[in-house]
Structure 1
Amino acid sequence: MKARTDRFGRTELPERQQRALQRAIRIEWATIGFLAVAITAVGLVMGGSQAMKAAWIEDLLSLAPPFAFLLAVRLVNKTPTRKYPYGFHRSVGVAHLVAGVALFAMGGFLIYDSVSGLLMAEHPPIGTVVIFGQQLWLGWLMMGVMALTIPLPIWFGKVKMQLAEELHDKVLYADADMNKADWMTAAGSIVGVAGIGLGLWWADSAAALFISVSILWDGVKNMKAAITDLMDTRATTFDDGKPHPDAAEIDDYLRGLPWVAEAGSRVRDQGHVFHVESFVVPRHGMHPTMQQLLDARDGCIDLDWKIQDIVLVPIDELPEEVGGAGADHQSERNR
């Protein structure tokens, strides 16, 4: 049987993931459209409220993940070149880092701004407006606008979370997390404005501080995840919750081959897909042929679409990093 050498370094996604990707693109454009309306509406009614200001800035920052995702997906399917031999899937990780830094920086600024308001005991003024000849407290408009911005982010976040898992897309996951922050921010703003109406001057700054801490925490989480992925940490699930099971499945498959005594793999996350280096120790007296190595490689690729390509390295002893002799001792020493 001829080995499928065209599978090495493949860049295309399977049909199911392609459909998911197209849906994700549509959802992200819909998110941008919604945010454009929300940013305009909140900007028109925010007045001097710190909570509304924080919510408005948070909506502006919410544009970063969708734009980062849309830019990344334009690059991921480009064919690998001599300059970029691993392809362009890692543009997803770069976009993830950019979104995380933006969230972290603005979260820090807003915390400073909110704490300053509390320490200086600022009393944010909320005036009145005349609508159809009737005088109306602006706070009612603020709370009404923020209430209208709650339902769609809840739906967007739910859909994006499902698509992020389907595509193993951490930018999409970060965006889903951001949508959760969006509706929580809107709810916090309503509480802050209502507090002003009840005479609690500090409620507005306190709500702004709550929103700011949420933004900062989103930034910290996403920066940490993006940086560790770019540093070739062990591949994890899309939510960084646990090591990705593909590594164990590859090792189990290789150990099941007649000529393999032991196997261990290093798996790096390239974005949507993985690059794998598998070390195999042949059984005593057995020397794998080229065809056996190619068949083993193709078998590993067939385990999961995320295994973009794999390098098999016959070796006499497994390195410690993939479970070789001395690995337990090294693990204890690193604790």
Structure 2
Amino acid sequence: MALGAVQREEMPETQQRALKRATILMWVTVAYLVVDTVILFLIKGNSQAMQAAWVQDLLALIPPLAFLIGTRVLSRRASKDHPYGFHQSMDTAHFVSAMALLAFGGFLLGQSVMSLVTAERPGIGLMVIFGLEIWHGWVMIGFMFLGTFPPLILGRMKIGPAKQLHNKVLFTDSKMNKADWLSSLATILGVTGIGLGIWWADAVAAIIISLDILWDGIQNMKASLDSLVDAIPRKLDSREPHPLPARLNRILLDLPWVKEAGCRVREEGQVFHIEAFVVPGDPDSTPIEQLIDAREKCRELDWKILDVVVVPVDELSPLLNTDTRVPADD
């Protein structure tokens, strides 16, 4: 006999506020990147580093758009055709954005390496601003320097909501934003190299930016695949297992009629679907009321538990998570 729970569709108020804040931050990110990429396109000139920075900022639009589209889709309620709901739409959007980062990062890397091998020597000329002739490179350097600050600020602001929501797309995007200064620095050095007559500095800077894009793609790919292939849930900021399954096992073992307990957890987007298995102390006398009570205790444990079933069994499968150790900070 297995006892299933009715799925919860509404998040607690704290998480609803976090989602609203995250949505606003993502729209701000999109607006900033649109303006940023337009200006970069207008001033990038022949510099490989500036072109790479422009492509990177263009690609940086993908994660926030994936988040905004994913949150809109997952708000749809579960149905008979989609009994698990649409929460995995976030993982799918995450995977697509990772593929785009890897594809364009690889293309840009190949293009930059070819420029270095063929010894292309980009030139940066003069431009007239308010009647004054100035080196175009100063405009590039100034814009890239000023452009380091918005991503850093936005990245830090996204970390809180990402952890409250356990949202991988938001968390990975915050890390990408915080690390964006490296690309800006590489671009500045590349443009400066052209001005000093170091022709290869521009191509090397473009290669560094390409590698940064590839690294972002790899990080996004790892995070999205974990959910898509039903790997065990992990913390956002490390490869350690998420503490919720251990907390759930402890709750079940605290019940006087439960001898052993284990679970397996399917992570879909930012919520969990859980199958909990219990070995009763007396298999012949396990009334349904006890299973109902166990189910409710599991549901009350955390908002991320969207759906849970409690299954009495004779023995636990070795594939189940039977851990009860919860880190002190969790």
Q: Deviations over 1:128-164 (max 9, x none)?
A: 1111221111100001111121111001001112211
**Could you say what the CA RMSD is over the residues aligned between the two structures, in angstroms?**
1.5
1:221/1:283 Cα in 2 relative to 1: closer, same or farther (>3 Å)?
same
**1:11 aligned to 9, 12, 23, which one?**
9
CA contact (8 A) 1:259 1:286 kept: no
CA contact (8 A) 1:12 1:77 kept: no
1:130 paired to 2:111: no
Name the amino acid aligned to 2:216.
D
**Could you tell me which residue of structure 1 aligns to residue 21 of structure 2?**
23
TM-score by length of 1: 0.92
**Could you tell me which residue of structure 1 aligns to residue 61 of structure 2?**
63
Name the amino acid aligned to 1:168.
H
**Could you tell me which residue of structure 2 aligns to residue 328 of structure 1?**
none
- Per-residue deviation at 1:71? 0.6
1:232/1:240 Cα in 2 relative to 1: closer, same or farther (>3 Å)?
farther
1:215-254 mapped onto 2 (5 Å cutoff): 215-254=213-252
**Could you tell me which residue of structure 2 aligns to residue 144 of structure 1?**
142
CA contact (8 A) 1:170 1:239 kept: no
Q: Deviations over 1:54-74 (max 9, x none)?
A: 100000001001111011111
CA contact (8 A) 1:280 1:313 kept: yes
Name the amino acid aligned to 1:78.
R
Unaligned ranges ≥5, structure 1: 325-335
1:43-58 mapped onto 2 (5 Å cutoff): 43-58=41-56
1:177 paired to 2:175: yes
**2:209 aligned to 207, 211, 225, which one?**
211
CA contact (8 A) 2:126 2:134 kept: yes
- 4+ long deviations beyond 3 Å: none
Distance 1:284 1:297 in 2: 18
Q: Deviations over 1:246-279 (max 9, x none)?
A: 0000011101111110001101111111000111
- Per-residue deviation at 1:52? 0.4
- Percent identity between matched residues is 48
TM-score by length of 2: 0.94
Name the amino acid aligned to 1:202.
W
CA contact (8 A) 2:5 2:295 kept: no
**Could you tell me which residue of structure 1 aligns to residue 119 of structure 2?**
121
1:56-95 mapped onto 2 (5 Å cutoff): 56-95=54-93
CA contact (8 A) 1:93 1:229 kept: yes
Secondary structure at 1:269 match in 2: strand
**Could you tell me which residue of structure 1 aligns to residue 326 of structure 2?**
none
Name the amino acid aligned to 1:179.
N
Secondary structure at 1:261 match in 2: strand
Number of residue pairs aligned between Structure 1 and Structure 2:
320
